Amino acid sequence: MPNAPQSIGADPLARMRAATRALHAEAERAGFVRELLAGRATRSGYALWLRNLWPTYDALERALAAAPAGSPLAALADPRVLRAAALEQDLAVLAGAQWRGTLAALPAADAYAHRIEDAAQTSIARLAAHAYVRYLGDLNGGRVLRRVVAGTLGLDDAALRFYAFDADPAELEGSYRAALGCAAAEERDPGAAAQEAAVAFRLNIELAEAVLAAIR
């Protein structure tokens, strides 16, 4: 096994995966996500969850859109993975057109969005880490979550756009991983992206706990 540390060090995606493995498992058991996966979510709770995911995608996608042409970040603004508009459509179905005003924006969601905005101002690799956590998670787990949400809440496709991609998820994941690797490799500090990915998972956990607390 002597070559394992070297191979992880040379691959920013492998470093992020290693740094977040335990946190990833924790996030799947945290707060509202635990209730959702167990089939115990309600429609109102799910709407609150989406409403508080939205600021993170909005912040991330505004930052990626602002990247100059030719930047490694520009490739991460692939319209096929962007989720903010799909979230807005689902929320309009679930909670009406005024969802921004009728559903609470929790401090944990603001904290997560502000962290993304800070990353965008300081480091390509740090922003890429947030894209890694959000979009690869969507591509990997989206089909499972869609089945759970549709079965538990009885929703049809009009309220499940968040999980719908305009490409084969497996193929899209492969091309997006390559783009993420290029962006994360821009940082001189090889651990920067992995450290930020770990922060992103902790923020996800805090958000899931905050949503569950808000609906109890």
**What pLDDT does residue 141 have?**
85
Retrieve residue 145's tokens.
């979550």
**What pLDDT does residue 198 have?**
97
Please write the tens of the pLDDT for every residue from 192-204. Answer: 899 999 999 999 9
Q: Are 152 and 39 in contact (CB under 8 A)?
A: yes
Confidence of residue 216 (pLDDT cuts 50, 70, 90): confident
Instruction: Report the pLDDT averaged over residues 74-92.
Output: 96
Check pLDDT > 60 for residue 8: no
Instruction: Report the pLDDT averaged over residues 128-149.
Output: 92
**Domain CATH for 49:** 1.20.910.10
**8-17, 24-33, 84-93, 154-163: least confidently modelled range:** 8-17
Retrieve residue 73's tokens.
């970040």
Check pLDDT > 80 for residue 17: yes
Check pLDDT > 90 for residue 131: yes
Contacts of 203 (CB under 8 A, 6+ apart): 108, 111, 112, 115
Percentage above 70 pLDDT, the chain = 95
- pTM value is 0.92
**What pLDDT does residue 10 have?**
61
User: Average pLDDT, whole number, for the chain?
Assistant: 91
Instruction: Report the pLDDT averaged over residues 139-165.
Output: 92
Q: Which residues of 103-113 are buried (b: 16+ CB within 10 A; e: fewer)?
A: beebebbeebb
DSSP annotation of 154? -
Check pLDDT > 70 for residue 77: yes
Q: Are 131 and 120 in contact (CB under 8 A)?
A: no
Question: Residue 178's domain spans which residues?
Answer: 4-215
**What pLDDT does residue 5 have?**
38
Check pLDDT > 60 for residue 142: yes
Confidence of residue 3 (pLDDT cuts 50, 70, 90): very low
**What pLDDT does residue 6 have?**
36
Per the structure, how many domains does the chain have?
Answer: 1
